[in-house]
Structure 1
Amino acid sequence: MPIMRAAFASRFDDADPLAALTVGEQPEPTHPEDDWVTVQVRATSLNHHDLWSLRGVGLTEAQLPMILGCDAVGVDAGGNEMVVYPVVVTPGDPRGVSILSEHFAGTLAERVAVPRSNLIPLPDGMAATDAACLPTAWLTAWRMLTTKGRVADADSVLVQGAGGGVATAAVALALAMGKRVYATSRDAAKRERITALGAIALESGARLPERVDVVIETVGAATFDHSLKSAAPMARIVVSGATAGHQPSVNLRRVFAMQLEILGTSMGTPGELYELLAFCAENEVRPVIDTVVPFSRVEDAFARLHSGDAFGKIVIDHTA
């Protein structure tokens, strides 16, 4: 059986997810349907989803070993550079869809199989290591701001917990759209990085000089009350994560008195990914990258992600 190098979950370990990571040989990808194609991977980026997989969230023992990774840029059989859209129609999943590395092998391998319709051409002049950051975290941020947050109608945006992939992407994108951006972080070093991007950095929970039109919320219970208090009348609070608690206390009087919208979202559509790629290419927006490492150091990349010290995306260069 043909084999390839890959990074995969070989078991689950909730207390120490890095212990469940294995780098070694796995079978070449197979095509479950005729419209699937194989892509030679050039670059990937890590997401917290990868750590959750190592903890056993969303996977079962029967699915192991599971190749990790959602994001990728690669080359198709015709030699074309393509960005991989990571959401796949999955009839057996209650959601009707799944992300690569849930039911189908992920992108942290030499090659990955995906439906042909999941491939979007890499824009001219865009580096593979930049584009590999976009399909999950940046796409989520794009949808939060545009489709859900209707940021075109907004002047100001608050991003909670900037430093992580989605939050940092939201800061960079909102700034590129010409919005006034406030961003919070408990970490002084990350606040310095936020300021360098052009946003107004604040300590978590600090009072804003104004109420904002859109709040990007990925933290959860630890910041949600602050998000409510920082929202202007008829503002949109868009939620895509709950890294610090998923059961916040919500002041419903404020919600209805201020006519606030609380909107949930996850990922985005292929069309939105195409729009995001075009926006970044046309406006010369480069993803915020913490570090780029060769695949031979993929374990170091996971350790960096797990540490919580990363600012922006961690990218794996498969060509290095």
Structure 2
Amino acid sequence: MLAAVAVSQSATDPLSGLHVTDVPVPVPPPGWSLVKVVASSLNMHDLWTLRGVGHPADRLPIVLGCDAAGYDQDGNEVIVYPVLGNADAGMGDETLDPDRALLSERHDGAFAEYLTVPTRNLVPKPAWLSFDEAACLPVAWTTAYRMLFTQARITAGDRVLVQGAGGGVASAAIKLALAAGAVVYTTSRSEDKRRMAEEWGVRAAVPSGTRLPERVDVVVETVGEATWSHSLKSLRPGGTLVVAGATSGMNPPADLGRIFYLQQRILGSTGCTRSELVALLKLMDATGVRPVIDHTMPLGEIHKGFQLMIDGSFAGKLVVHPPTTSGAPS
């Protein structure tokens, strides 16, 4: 079968270590299922692996890809929940299991014609959701859902700032917060992305670092060093900043005086539980909100997708299609 495999890592030339090649079809062990992948999508996690960030070189080669939607062995349409973890070890939350792993960290991932996962990780795909849309959800959309509803606990009328309008998590957070009745602000260096966010319904989309018309209740932060100071200054006293990434750097100025004097809350958030993925699907069904898909491409052209990610010249999600065969795994 065809797969996109990380064979080496480079901080300066990450795509040199990504090979699209033939590999054996995986065989599921007991308790696992074989999935025929119809669609997958790119995440920053894949690029970090190719850059050697957070992924030891001794785990290479490995098939990349955290997101997948397709058919199980019985022909059912499924979405793959991407966290391989033990909920019991995480006090009922897989994301708190110290030994958890995301698909493609220790086990071959979704940029392939087939993958194997624990059968528990298969979630029925609703008929109202396309395979492309479903493939956008497992990492970016569930991350945004957990940040907004589990961690920050937003309600209708809350003021929410989402930093960096164009990213997968950020675009999901904007869409979901709007669907929940929040007043949403966002930032971007790109005029086109600001205009796009305004078309989605945000109250204002401003250049990065620009003062907002009002302070907000919640900030969704995935950018890191470049926007951290602006995030804290935009937050009202007693407000909540939820952080789930740091694409621009991991060591922002803490500004502890502001945090303790204004009693601001800083919450970390990673991934989601299986039940949160199911809850996200219910919210999408009720509200009609759907992912923003910038480009789709065949698996053989996946390097082009990663280059768009490196350049920042996309908005929303980038979807990949493996070679097509009909129906369920044989």
TM-score between both structures, scaled by the size of structure 2: 0.92
Root mean square deviation, CA, Å? 1.7
Residue ranges of structure 1 left out of the alignment (5+ in a row): none
For residues 85 and 241 of structure 2, the distance between their equivalents in structure 1, rounded to whole angstroms, comes to 28
Superposed displacement of residue 246, structure 1: 1.3
For residues 254 and 54 of structure 1, the distance between their equivalents in structure 2, rounded to whole angstroms, comes to 37
SS of alignment partner, residue 186 of structure 1:
coil
Number of aligned residue pairs: give it.
315
- Find 1:27's aligned residue among 24, 27, 37: 24
- Find 2:289's aligned residue among 279, 285, 289: 285
Equivalent pairs: percent with the same residue?
A: 48
Superposed displacement of residue 149, structure 1: 0.8
Q: How does 1:131-146 map to 2 (within 5 A)?
A: 131-146=134-149
Contact 2:156 2:182 in 1 (8 A): no
Structure 1, residues 247-306: CA drift from partner, whole Å, max 9, x if none? Answer: 111222221222211000111100001111121122111101111112232222222222
Contact 1:218 1:239 in 2 (8 A): yes
For residues 269 and 101 of structure 1, the distance between their equivalents in structure 2, rounded to whole angstroms, comes to 17
Contact 1:154 1:214 in 2 (8 A): no
For residues 68 and 42 of structure 2, the distance between their equivalents in structure 1, rounded to whole angstroms, comes to 10
- Find 1:99's aligned residue among 99, 102, 106: 102
- Find 1:67's aligned residue among 56, 63, 66: 63
For residues 40 and 268 of structure 1, the distance between their equivalents in structure 2, rounded to whole angstroms, comes to 23
Q: Partner of 2:77 in structure 1? A: 81
Q: Partner of 1:125 in structure 2? A: 128
Q: How does 1:228-243 map to 2 (within 5 A)?
A: 228-243=232-247
Q: Partner of 2:312 in structure 1? A: 308
Structure 1, residues 115-147: CA drift from partner, whole Å, max 9, x if none? Answer: 000000001211010010010011100100000
For residues 156 and 239 of structure 2, the distance between their equivalents in structure 1, rounded to whole angstroms, comes to 10
Q: Partner of 2:215 in structure 1? A: 211
Superposed displacement of residue 233, structure 1: 2.0
TM-score between both structures, scaled by the size of structure 1: 0.94
Contact 2:2 2:112 in 1 (8 A): yes
For residues 113 and 280 of structure 1, the distance between their equivalents in structure 2, rounded to whole angstroms, comes to 27
SS of alignment partner, residue 151 of structure 1:
coil
Q: Partner of 2:327 in structure 1? A: none
Q: Partner of 2:2 in structure 1? A: 5
Structure 1, residues 92-131: CA drift from partner, whole Å, max 9, x if none? Answer: xx93100111100000000000000000000121101001
Contact 2:156 2:181 in 1 (8 A): no
Contact 1:234 1:261 in 2 (8 A): yes
Contact 1:43 1:319 in 2 (8 A): no
For residues 159 and 152 of structure 1, the distance between their equivalents in structure 2, rounded to whole angstroms, comes to 15
For residues 59 and 211 of structure 1, the distance between their equivalents in structure 2, rounded to whole angstroms, comes to 38
SS of alignment partner, residue 138 of structure 2:
helix
Superposed displacement of residue 187, structure 1: 1.2
For residues 40 and 300 of structure 1, the distance between their equivalents in structure 2, rounded to whole angstroms, comes to 23
For residues 30 and 158 of structure 1, the distance between their equivalents in structure 2, rounded to whole angstroms, comes to 45
Further displaced range: 190-199 or 152-161: 152-161
For residues 272 and 112 of structure 2, the distance between their equivalents in structure 1, rounded to whole angstroms, comes to 24
For residues 177 and 23 of structure 2, the distance between their equivalents in structure 1, rounded to whole angstroms, comes to 40
**Paired letter, 1:59:** H
For residues 108 and 64 of structure 1, the distance between their equivalents in structure 2, rounded to whole angstroms, comes to 15
For residues 229 and 61 of structure 1, the distance between their equivalents in structure 2, rounded to whole angstroms, comes to 39
Superposed displacement of residue 153, structure 1: 6.7
Q: Partner of 2:93 in structure 1? A: none
- Find 2:196's aligned residue among 193, 198, 223: 193
Superposed displacement of residue 319, structure 1: 5.6
Q: Partner of 1:270 in structure 2? A: 274
For residues 153 and 213 of structure 1, the distance between their equivalents in structure 2, rounded to whole angstroms, comes to 12
Q: Which runs of 4+ in 1 moved over 4 A?
A: none
